[in-house]
Chain A
Amino acid sequence: MSTTTTASPNEAKLWVGGKSPFNSEYGKVMMWYFLMSDAFTFGAFLISYGTVRFSTNGWPNSNEVFRSFPFAPEGVHAPLVFVSIMTFILIISSVTMVLAVHAGKNMDKKGVVRNMIWTIIGGIAFLSCQAWEWNHLFHEGAWWGANPFLNADGTASTTNFTNFFFTITGFHGFHVFSGVVINIIMLIMTLLNKFEQRGHYLMIEKAGLYWHFVDLVWVFVFTIFYLL
């Protein structure tokens, strides 16, 4: 009793039972906690990249490494252009995902289907861009354990640069891939009227949380690898 007297009346009402204290569905709360743990995984990767970069004297200039563009003639260098297209693809697909979640809240099946299709197209476009970039870098001699690029000051570079690049963008690409698979499953479930029968589109919201997290991680990966 003594605890309820110290807490504010509102709070006491929240925790005495009969009511969801987080006012949220179990699966959604658990998705948040999964994403939090995933954030620590990505954080550990990116911070270890930072630590190694800070402990090394030279580092390759990202504008010299990532300067290619599909179908660009030989010798034409366009730093940042391709990756900015990838970034905008992911931002736009994140927006269509929000619109799908919003349509789901209104029980608008047509809107969910349309926006989920756009989100899936965006995800596949992003993965295609990444596949092209990896392929291009591989043919320039870059891979895990192989770094053809020199440091910005012209000294020999370690393989740390390529190892971290392929590991972190690969791990992110794997997340995008699983996100696309999840979104396709959600689209099929929507088309089969599963959510109409349940009476809610909460699964779309959970898939949406995951998809936004993928976009969120790209904000960090893009900035740290291509801009800094």
Chain B
Amino acid sequence: MKTKKFILLLTFIFTGTLLFAVKPEKVRSLSLGLGLGQNSRQDLIFSPFVHHEFSLLNGTINYSIHGRFFQQVKIGIATFDPMLKEPYNYSEDGEVKTAAPHYLLYLDLDYLLGKKIKKTGKTDLTVGGMLGTNTQSLNYVYGRIGYFGYFSAINLGMFGQFGIPTQNGNGVFFKLQLPFVSWLARSPYLVNDDEFIENISSHSGIKTFFAFLKDGKPATWNTVQQVDAEVKYLFSLTSKWGMGISGAYEFTRASQPRLLNSHRTSVNVSATLKF
């Protein structure tokens, strides 16, 4: 019953914010960012070790509307293939094989809705609500065997953006996102229990994904902590086109069923189209 109420609350708030957000007079921008990522992750479900990795596969797509209200839809994707040591060869039944790295895929989808609440001189402050997902698809490889795992949080929280704008949406911006409540689905305590096996027994990727989500639980700040911070500098090339450089940090910590600590940073260069 608590679960149903939680879902209802999320739906109500999200629908409400969407309806509330439909207002005229806007400047829209679409930007594509690509760059470097760095990840440090310790997930005791899969390993007691911290896995560090740099990656070139790190990107974002941002669609923003600046009007009476600020709205933003952001998709972020990053992949990492960490390994404690360098890949090495071993043999099994006379066949030489190579121990492959783990493979981690991070996928974020965020919707922000806010309003500029303070504008003084050269700075402004925008605050609002956020609805987003923090999904981590995990393939931990242990030499001859590998296992799928997942972390998926559907989050509801707040964001704040402090800006030092110049004109036409350019300037320096610092944004902080803080989810407060989540619907959290994670791999079980030891990777692979009966519930997990039942969830994959449909042999359908989509059904499995929703089965994992269904097995999630409501979580608050005391069991899952997430912080997203971003600083970016935007400047115009023409009246329509702009460029930007941004640095982002994502922190995820969850205590159930086993401790997860994940720190991810990225530096992206982006191209922006304003319309």
Say whether A associates with B: no
